[in-house]
Amino acid sequence: MTAHRLDGFLARLEAAEGLEGLQGLIEALRDHYRVDHMVYHWVSTDGQQYGCGTYSRDWCIRYVVADYLRIDPVIIGCFQRFHPVDWKRLDWSSKAARTFRADAIEHGVGNQGFSIPVRGPNGQFALFSVSHTTDDASWAEFTGAHQRDLILLGHFFNQKGLELAGDRTPEPSKTLSPRETDALTFLAMGYGRAQVAEMLAISEHTLRAYIESARFKLGALNTTHAVARAVAEGQIVLGGASRAAKGDWPGLREADVAAE
């Protein structure tokens, strides 16, 4: 997109009033970039989904009814990232993820996707995504050519989304207890729940109580969301020593954050 054309879209975005204005603009952007879909998606801490996009009504209903929010690899994977990500780089290995992907493709979402995670105040998290049906080489060419524009658009959409839904911005989270902090820290490092319970010298039942308490304080949808919010708010810092284990730790695993 030329700088002049992009400036025009950004000016329209800044002047948009209500979700109707954002919806019209995102449809125009989809048509300009000649992709199947473009979506701005904000999942609030109370589980409400807010935004605009070009997915079919049938897919939006299907997504909510099937509770796909809890298993969507795009949502889960992007909670753990701060940089744009091609959907092929996410973890689609589980049966639930593969089933979700097949359902999404059947509903016209596309076999390729690219998302920009956007973070706002008080741990607010949103995604700006584009998806399309094409081959890997064509998709790599598209994302390489337009990545900078898409990042800028994602942040401008989020800025306008926060402005239009100011009363939805989550309240600051409550401070975690030391045990809750330890539990989320170890989970974020990739340890399984049984390992974490053993390291903290507690039962898995007690560990679950700590995790559930932390989720409640952070207003999180699941454990992955709790870890993401705790990191974003500085309540846990990965790479540092935990109060529960300042000596030798087992080698770190390249595992995803444990999720419910």
Q: How far is CA 111 from CA 34, 38, 221, in A?
A: 15, 14, 27
Q: Assess whether 138 and 229 both reside in one domain.
A: no
Structure tokens that stand for 154 in this block: 């994602």
Give mean pLDDT, residues 124-150: 93
Q: Assess whether 139 and 193 both reside in one domain.
A: no
pLDDT class of 254 with cuts at 50, 70, 90: very low
User: Which pLDDT belongs to residue 239?
Assistant: 52
- Whichever domain contains 214, its CATH number is 1.10.10.10
Q: Assess whether 194 and 152 both reside in one domain.
A: no
Query: Total domain count for the chain?
Result: 2
pTM comes to 0.63
* Final residue in a domain of this structure, among 168, 193, 212: 168
pLDDT at 200 over 80: yes
Tell me: the pLDDT tens digits for 7-38? Answer: 888 888 888 887 788 888 999 999 999 999 99
Select the highest-mean-pLDDT range: 104-108, 171-175, 199-203, 223-227: 104-108
Give mean pLDDT, residues 172-178: 78
Q: Assess whether 26 and 89 both reside in one domain.
A: yes
Tell me which residue of 167, 146, 179 sits closest to 35, measured CA to CA. Answer: 146
The boundaries of the domain holding residue 217 are 173-260
* Final residue in a domain of this structure, among 142, 168, 194: 168
Q: Assess whether 236 and 217 both reside in one domain.
A: yes
pLDDT class of 241 with cuts at 50, 70, 90: very low
Q: Assess whether 195 and 152 both reside in one domain.
A: no
pLDDT at 55 over 60: yes
